[in-house]
Structure 1
Amino acid sequence: MTSSTPTSPLAALSHVVSFALVVGGGSGLLHEWWGWLHFMGFVRFLVPDGYEVYGYVVMVVVGAAVGAAGGALDERSRG
């Protein structure tokens, strides 16, 4: 069911950031574990050398948290 109330700009931005973090972290994990699917190459600059797996896991967790916060903002603004 769709709503006629538009999404707030902050909620929309949080959804975009969440998507980038979750997909980037997931593709980074796949690249580290199996050596393929390095979909979003810029995320390698966000994690320190030697801690790639931990950094990508943190990216996925933070992305999920940002997405949940954006969803809560969206629900709160719709009342």
Structure 2
Amino acid sequence: MKQVLEMVGFIALVQGVLGLVHEFTHWHVGLVQRVGFLDGYEVFASIALLVLAFALFAAAESRSSG
């Protein structure tokens, strides 16, 4: 379970960073800008993904590996 939390956290971290990169450099990377209902809220969604990633990493760290 710890590895699953870390993997999902890593994916959320990457997508959050790519969403911010897209907003500030206008490179077409990441999935946040492709989701229609987030139109206009991409920065907030990217920050939420970053917070979620750190929460998932903290949850994974609190779990035992066995």
Q: Same fold (TM over 0.5)?
A: yes
1:22 aligns with one of 3, 13, 21:
13
The DSSP-based 3-state class of the residue aligned with 2:38 is coil
TM-score by length of 1: 0.70
Identity, % of aligned positions: 31
Number of aligned residue pairs: give it.
65
2:27 aligned partner: 36
TM-score by length of 2: 0.82
Q: 1:51 to 1:14 in 2, by over 3 A?
A: same
- Alpha-carbon shift at residue 43 of structure 1 (Å): 3.5
Q: Which runs of 5+ in 1 are unaligned?
A: 1-9
Structure 1 consecutive aligned stretches of length 4 or more whose deviation exceeds 3 Å: none
Q: Which runs of 5+ in 2 are unaligned?
A: none
Question: Which has the greater radius of gyration?
Answer: 1
